[in-house]
Chain A
């Protein structure tokens, strides 16, 4: 098996999509203790494979979804980006709390690679809440308290405030986005999760992203929303190893697959739209000498 290479499989079920993808490649595991490599070298999978997913709606008969190969999408973005991955797709809208088994059958090798996961649900965003009149303040005197209520089995959360900013120059304008966020790696415990987002970072990150505007040009914040991307417990472990600065070998040796390498998990996006920045935040942006040159208008 070592000389043939091992299958590397990544599948993160998207709870908000009805099209699911499996990424498959081949890798040759480095020897234990070989810290010279900081990532796997993956190669194209060039053997026959049958991929299917079992959805256990009841204890007796699973619903089976078969994956088929797609060529039109190159796998160069998102988690586990590498153009060597081959993509397989199936139409399936995952159900929260459902147990899914993913099987890859390799007829030439006469074995299965398989993994299971419990699909997560959507994290409830308690704060920021889209309550008319409640506004978001970023000021040096008050950090922002984020309150989230995750669903069972979710353990890793990436969240951000996403601001839509128009940069007006004469009659033209360019629309862009500004992100302010962070991530939390926390095992599900049924509790409301709180996170204090440093307000000062709002201003320092703005300064990093935007330059001084000249003349009558100006910037206008046209929208602010808050997004949470939650992931299953498999990704929590994977990211925990990564965040703790574990040795490359330890990170690479975590896999939720049997007879293969990779991750099978799920993700869900929650969103609160139509948020507003407070008068104080606008006042700081438009009057403070440190940020005035960015030319934001209210």
Chain B
């Protein structure tokens, strides 16, 4: 009888140890990574104008250049003057983006600073990026 008790106790201990040792997260395996990250370092163009008068106004992404021109975006960032780096989580593939800046200087300063039409004219930069699975792809818009 005593031996039987020891046997049951040993089996119980074994079961408990086995349960405790199961640190694999239960029945749910970690979800596979299906996306990559696009990181756009949206630097303002270098112009001979006060920095506080140059504003980011747009950073949008499309799957094709045609969609980009038509304004059919899959993602748009809420751009800020105080923030330059924007991250997008995307499925792997080729993407096109556009970045826009405008100028709020008075007079004809904006025009001579290269903003078409002068005040609140927009300068655009666009780029092509290839997003790889689980990778961070970094790009810097280049304003002409």
A-side interface residues toward B, CB under 8 Å?
126-127, 129, 131-137, 139, 141-145, 147, 192, 278-281, 283
State A143–B77 Cα separation when bound (angstroms): 9
B-side interface residues toward A, CB under 8 Å?
55-58, 60, 71-83, 88-89, 100, 102, 104, 120, 122
Contact indicator A132/B78 (Cβ below 8 Å): no
Contact indicator B122/A142 (Cβ below 8 Å): no
State A133–B124 Cα separation when bound (angstroms): 12
Q: Which of A127, A134, A142 sits near B58, CB closer than 8 Å?
A: A134
State A120–B78 Cα separation when bound (angstroms): 30
Contact indicator A142/B72 (Cβ below 8 Å): no
The 8 closest A-B pairs by CB, nearest first: A133-B57, A134-B57, A280-B76, A279-B71, A132-B120, A137-B76, A280-B73, A131-B55
Contact indicator B78/A137 (Cβ below 8 Å): yes
Contact indicator B82/A133 (Cβ below 8 Å): no
Contact indicator B104/A131 (Cβ below 8 Å): yes
Q: How far is the CB of B64 from chain A (nearest CB, A)?
A: 15
Contact indicator A134/B75 (Cβ below 8 Å): no
Contact indicator B73/A133 (Cβ below 8 Å): no
A residues in contact with B80, CB < 8 Å: 127, 145, 147
Q: Which chain A residue has the least Cβ–Cβ distance from B56?
A: A134
State A175–B82 Cα separation when bound (angstroms): 36
Contact indicator B72/A133 (Cβ below 8 Å): no
Q: How far is the CB of B122 from chain A (nearest CB, A)?
A: 6
B residues in contact with A131, CB < 8 Å: 55, 57, 102, 104, 120
Q: How far is the CB of A269 from chain B (nearest CB, A)?
A: 23
Given contacts A131-B102, A132-B102, A133-B100, contact A139 B76 (CB under 8 A): yes
Contact indicator A283/B78 (Cβ below 8 Å): no
Q: Which chain B residue has the least Cβ–Cβ distance from A141?
A: B75
State A279–B120 Cα separation when bound (angstroms): 19
Contact indicator B75/A142 (Cβ below 8 Å): yes
A residues in contact with B83, CB < 8 Å: 145
B residues in contact with A280, CB < 8 Å: 60, 73-76
B residues in contact with A279, CB < 8 Å: 60, 71-73, 76
Contact indicator B76/A133 (Cβ below 8 Å): no
Subset of 18 A-B contacts with CB under 8 Å: A131-B102, A132-B57, A132-B102, A134-B56, A134-B102, A135-B57, A136-B78, A137-B77, A139-B75, A145-B78, A145-B80, A278-B60, A279-B60, A279-B71, A279-B72, A279-B73, A279-B76, A280-B60
Q: Which of A137, A281, A283 has the most CB of B within 10 A?
A: A137
Q: Which chain B residue has the least Cβ–Cβ distance from A131?
A: B55
Q: Which chain B residue has the least Cβ–Cβ distance from A278?
A: B76
Given contacts A132-B102, A279-B71, contact A142 B77 (CB under 8 A): yes
B residues in contact with A126, CB < 8 Å: 81-82
Additional A-B contact list (8), CB under 8 Å, known A145-B78, A280-B74: A127-B81, A129-B55, A137-B76, A137-B77, A141-B89, A147-B80, A192-B82, A279-B73
Q: How far is the CB of B73 from chain A (nearest CB, A)?
A: 5
Q: Which chain B residue has the least Cβ–Cβ distance from A279?
A: B71
B residues in contact with A147, CB < 8 Å: 80, 82
Q: Which chain B residue has the least Cβ–Cβ distance from A128?
A: B78
Q: Which of A129, A141, A283 sits near B88, CB closer than 8 Å?
A: A141
State A131–B82 Cα separation when bound (angstroms): 14
A residues in contact with B82, CB < 8 Å: 126-127, 147, 192
Q: How far is the CB of B20 from chain A (nearest CB, A)?
A: 39
Q: How far is the CB of B76 from chain A (nearest CB, A)?
A: 4
